[in-house]
Amino acid sequence: MTLQLLDVIYNRSSCRDFLDKPVDDWMIENLLEALRRAPSAGNIQPWHFFVILNQKIKEGLAKAAYGQNFIAKAPIVFVVCANPIMSSLGYGKRGRSLYCIQDTAAATENLLIAAEAMELAGCWVGAFNEEEAAKVLNLSHYLRPVAIVPIGYPKKKRGPTHKKPMDEVATIIK
């Protein structure tokens, strides 16, 4: 079991080219559950997740993401939003500026790993105009869009991407 999970993690890579095939409802439910089960500081869960199936909204998000049109071509798009106010109630300024971002990052990674485990693929998009994305989604003032994640069936097989050698990114201190 552990090796299967590690294989999923090690082989996951970003996908920007999806088949024109809908994602089953049970998969969407499981992807949402993976998001919801992410760890968060103090278990505050300062987030809200949007599941976008509407083509016009996907196109609006692609525009907000500086023309990254592959977003609109995915069958489903998740938008992970942070609630800095909620996080600040437990942790003050650090909660508002850091913990809510860390929490949504953990949720986003859960989403990508779960998608890979279901033979779906996705891409973590962070390059977008927050104000434009918030307008497209008609977000409440207290929600901050942190990640746009298009998900679907990949058009072609992917494999692991190049990573720096371990000695460049890690230090073991004994």
- The residue-averaged pLDDT of 61-85 equals 98
**Does pLDDT of 78 surpass 70?**
yes
Residue 1 scores a pLDDT above 70: no
pLDDT mean over 70-87: 98
- Give the tens place of pLDDT for each residue, 90-124: 999 999 999 999 999 999 999 999 999 999 999 99
According to the model, what pLDDT value does residue 160 have? 85
The pLDDT assigned to 2 comes to 62
Cβ neighbours of residue 28 closer than 8 Å, sequence gap 6 or more:
51, 76
**pLDDT category of residue 158 using cuts at 50, 70 and 90:** confident
% of the chain with per-residue pLDDT over 90: 95
| Structural domains of the chain, ranges and CATH numbers in brackets | 2-156 (3.40.109.10)
pTM of structure: 0.95
pLDDT digits (tens, 9 = 90+) for 17-63: 999 999 999 999 999 999 999 999 999 999 999 999 999 999 999 99
The whole-number pLDDT of residue 90 equals 94
Please list the residues that pair with 121 across neighbouring strands.
152
Between the alpha carbon of residue 54 and those of residues 32, 123, 136, 156, the distances in Å are 17, 18, 11, 25
Token pair, residue 86, equals 């909620």
Can you spell out the DSSP letters for 25-47? HHHHHHHHHHHHTS--GGG---E
